[in-house]
Amino acid sequence: MNQQYPSVLLEKAVNEFAKLPGIGSKTAMRLVLHLLRQDVQAVESFGQSLITLKHDVKYCSVCHNISDTDVCEICSDMQRDHSTICVVENIQDVMAIENTHQYKGVYHVLGGVISPMDGVGPSDLQIQTLVERVEDGGVREVILALSPTMEGDTTNFYIYRKLENAAARISVIARGVAQNDELQYTDEVTLGRSIVNRVVFTGQM
């Protein structure tokens, strides 16, 4: 719908929504009209929650995860293993790994991966602060948990070279066939690697 809106205020709100990734002008219109049907309080709560977040959001000074405090809950939790650092691309990845309940170490959020195509170089990411964390000592293992893409692999390799001479062990998350994947539809690289990197079967997965 690239036409005249019956109201300038409506047009402005729709255009703001349509700037969001994956939201076209028709969806934007639908969302704005949905909000218009809510009461004033609900709309204010919506708008204000975003403004407040932008104003007051903090990033953990240790791992760079989003946080309400200077050091995030995970980094200030003394129950966790601070000698193991899991390196991830973004906040969602921290949440996804936390959701598995399989990891008790701490994190380091890079804020992206090296991607020359998108103009993202090592200095745009929290790589230097990772190197410093490791050089400060007390770190036994760095787990690289980036996406298995070309950019993720490039970033893995870059970090590996930076930490090569550090005392910490560098590991990378396992790649292989995913739970419930159908073998015949699995790509050759993944399937091949899952055979090469097979593990001893102990009677349970």
Does residue 71 bind a second copy (CB under 8 A)? no
Q: Are 32 and 14 in contact (CB under 8 A)?
A: yes
Closer residue to a second copy in complex, CB, 65/126 = 65
Binding map of a second copy across residues 42-61, x = CB under 8 A, - = no contact: -xxxxxxxxxxxxxxxx---
Does residue 21 bind a second copy (CB under 8 A)? yes
Cα→Cα distances 82→50, 65, 77, Å: 32, 15, 9
Q: Are 64 and 111 in contact (CB under 8 A)?
A: yes
Chain center to CA of 138: 25
Q: Per CB under 8 A, which region of 35-43, 81-89, 161-169, 195-203 contacts a second copy?
A: 35-43
Placement of tokens 């200095």 in the chain: 123
d(CA 85, CA 199) in angstroms, rounded, equals 24
Does residue 33 bind a second copy (CB under 8 A)? yes
Q: How far is the CB of 112 from a second copy (least distance, A)?
A: 10
Site for a second copy, rule CB under 8 A: 1, 3-10, 12-13, 16-17, 19-23, 27, 29-36, 38, 40, 43-58, 65-68, 72-74, 90-92, 94-96, 98-99
